[in-house]
Amino acid sequence: MAHAKISLERSLTMSRVRTRFAPSPTGTPHIGNIRTALFEWLFARHNGGDFIVRIEDTDQSRKVEGSVESLLESLRWLGMDWDEGPEVGGDNGPYFQSERLDYYRTYTDKLIEMGKAYRFEDERGSAVKFAMPSDGSTTTHDRIRGEVSFDNLLLDDFVILKSDGFPTYHLAHIVDDHLMGITHVIRAEEWLPSLPKHLLIYEALGWDPPEFAHLPVILAPDKSKLSKRHGSTSLLEYKESGYLPQAMMNFMALLGWSLDDKSELFSRDELVNVFSLDRVVSSPAIFNIEKLDWMNGHYIREMSSDELTIALLSHWNVVSPPGLPPGPDPKLLARIVPLVQDRLKTLNDAAERIPFFFSDEFEYEASELIQRNMDDAETVSALEASMSAIGSVHPFTASSLEERLRTLAEDLELKVGQLLGTLRVATSGLKVSPPLFESLEILGRERVLHDLRRAIEKLSQCREHI
Ligand code: GLU
């Protein structure tokens, strides 16, 4: 009776920890792929071990152009460095399975010789299947799920080498994990049902399997499959939307792992220090975009305003935001950043709030100038009075503007909010804008007077139409 009970009790001290990220290049990497990579990377770094990247490109029909580049870009963006790999332009490239076909053929031949696999004719030529035992069970220990057991009867023989000469995933990753000395296979839960196949190949080849940890699936807040409607699923779209790598890393680390029931903010180094598989759960992780927004805002506020200025400029170099001129003046931006820093959720948010600093050609409706309990004539008078106040205020600073305009509101028997509401729309086109007095100081007297004149004209044109 073929009874394959495989014990995986291994002590970490026995060998240097080696993990691998083994994506198939079948599209742009999504959050789930990169969360897997992150846990593999954190586990390796926490244990002072190695992290390897191996592109599993043996299914030629599913290959998508550009996927490898976006996978590597995702890792680089998050600062997840990898060790070794064939040299490409002075750097370590990842391993590619398509360059290692000889190994898979060698071990397929071995399995055939040993009577554990056999050739068969599939539609287009000769292929090879692994022969499953017809009884017994396969049991192992998963680092996250504890003991897992499978009935061998339920599994059919399966293809390990296709007629095109390429191996299937089942064989290829085992050969590589063994030859590359991988000690811990950390991967998505979807592979758990295939585990008995893998364990039986290890057994047939007389190899010790690594330890396994199958990570929990990531679901939407309503427990449905994560999809576009819950926010984007592609990691690099978050980069484009102005999320910071440290926020993304922190957020993804908590998709299935936690240190305790309260700590939420972890820098990259802290994660490396405290990460362990023991605190990864098997129940689904819930993807909560509000939490990501909150975290991103936190990391934006933690930056110095110079750092944020640099981050914005380099982000806008890649993603040109609507409404902003290309290559905004860094000195001007550095003055604006402190006004908006506290309120941003993403780097892209900034672009929505500040275009009026760079151009006076913003649009708004004349009616937006008119505040509650005011009419157009009162609004025009308030704007005219503001022009003369702003024309004569000295020095042209936020504090003297504030003093002068508060007094003016009193003189006009307006609430401060009414007067400032009108001025805000007139000078920014926005109902909610960065702090007004500081913004006026940055805009400068001439520009502010120009905006107020334009507002008066807009209202007058409107009255003519009535
Ligand atoms: N190529 C597989 C994937 O992309 C890797 C699974 C594994 O880590 O073993 O899902």
Strand partners, 231: 229
Active site residue 415: no
Pocket test for ligand 1, best of 19, 20, 24 (most atoms within 8 A of CB): 24
- What is the per-residue DSSP string for 258-297? -SSSS-----HHHHHHH--GGGB-SSPEE--HHHHHHHHH
Distances, alpha carbon 407 to alpha carbons 174, 291, 380, 389, 418, in Å: 78, 42, 18, 10, 13
Tokens of 442: 């940055």
Probe residue for ligand 1, chosen from 18, 59, 187 as the CB with the greatest number of ligand atoms within 8 Å:
187
Q: Which one, of 63, 32, 68, 35, lies nearest residue 53 by Cα?
A: 68
- For ligand 1, the distance from its centroid to the CA atom of residue 306, given in whole angstroms, is 41
Whole-number Å distance, alpha carbon 370 to ligand 1 midpoint, is 60
Q: How far is the CA of 278 from the centre of ligand 1 (A)?
A: 22
- For ligand 1, atom 8, which residue shows the shortest CA distance? 187
Tokens of residue 213, six digits: 């940890």
Q: In the prediction, which pLDDT does 7 show? A: 39
- What local confidence, expressed as pLDDT, does residue 351 receive? 87
Which one of 228, 262, 291, 345 is the catalytic residue?
228
Distance CA 353, CA 432 (A): 8
- Residue 376 amino acid letter: D
Q: Whose CA is closest to 436, among 466, 391, 406, 462?
A: 406
Q: What region, left, alpha or beta, does residue 16 occupy, with left being phi > 0 and alpha being psi -120 to 50 degrees?
A: beta
Is pLDDT at 181 greater than 80 in this prediction?
yes
| Mean pLDDT in residue range 127-138 | 91
From the list 304, 307, 381, 316, the residue with the least C-alpha distance to 347 is 316
Q: Helix, strand, coil % (nearest 5) of the chain?
A: 50, 15, 35
* Partners of 158 in beta bridges: 130
> Is pLDDT of 466 > 60?
no
Residue 447: other Cβ atoms inside 10 A: 15
Nearest CA to ligand 1 atom 10: 23
**Which residues have C-beta within 8 Å of that of residue 34, sequence separation ≥ 6?**
74, 75, 78, 235, 252
Confidence at 435, pLDDT banded by 50, 70, 90: very high
Pocket test for ligand 1, best of 21, 54, 56 (most atoms within 8 A of CB): 56
> In angstroms, what is the span from residue 239 Cα to ligand 1's centroid?
24
Closest ligand 1 atom to the C-alpha of 177? Answer: 9
- Band (pLDDT 50/70/90 cuts) for residue 247 is very high
pLDDT at 5: 40
Compare 383 and 350 and report the one with higher pLDDT.
383
Query: Probe ligand 1: pick from 191, 212, 215, 218, max atoms within 8 Å of CB?
Result: 191
Q: Which atom of ligand 1 is nearest to the CA of 173?
A: 9
Res 147 pLDDT > 60: yes
Report the nearest-CA residue for atom 3 of ligand 1.
Answer: 23
Least confident of 65-74, 89-98, 125-134, 448-457: 89-98
Which residue type does 26 have?
A: T
Rounded Cα distance between 248 and 377, Å, is 51
pLDDT given for residue 14 in this prediction: 60
- Residue ranges around ligand 1 (CB below 6 Å): 22-24, 56, 169, 173, 185, 187, 191
Lowest mean pLDDT among 136-145, 206-215, 269-278: 136-145
**How far apart are alpha carbons 207 and 111 in whole angstroms?**
13
Report the pLDDT value the prediction gives residue 465, as an integer from 0 to 100.
63
What's the 88 CA to ligand 1 centre distance in angstroms?
23
Bond before 395 cis per omega within 30 degrees:
yes
- Report the separation in Å between the CA atom of 191 and the middle of ligand 1, taken as the mean of its atom positions: 8
Contact 55, 23 (CB under 8 A): yes
Task: Look at 120-124, 322-326, 352-356 and tell me which has the smallest mean pLDDT.
Answer: 322-326
- Tallying the residues shown for the chain, one arrives at 466
Q: How far is the CA of 174 from the centre of ligand 1 (A)?
A: 11
Q: Which of 83-97, 122-136, 390-404 has the highest mean pLDDT?
A: 390-404
What is the pLDDT of the chain when averaged over all its residues? 93
Helix axes 245-253, 67-78, angle to 10 degrees: 90
Q: Looking at ligand 1, which residue's alpha carbon is closest to its atom 4?
A: 23
Per-residue pLDDT tens over the stretch 1-54? 333 343 344 444 468 999 999 999 999 999 999 999 999 999 999 999 999 999
> What percent of the chain stands above pLDDT 70?
96
83 pLDDT band, cuts 50/70/90, is: very high
| CB neighbour list of residue 448: distance below 8 Å, 6 or more residues apart | 390, 427, 440
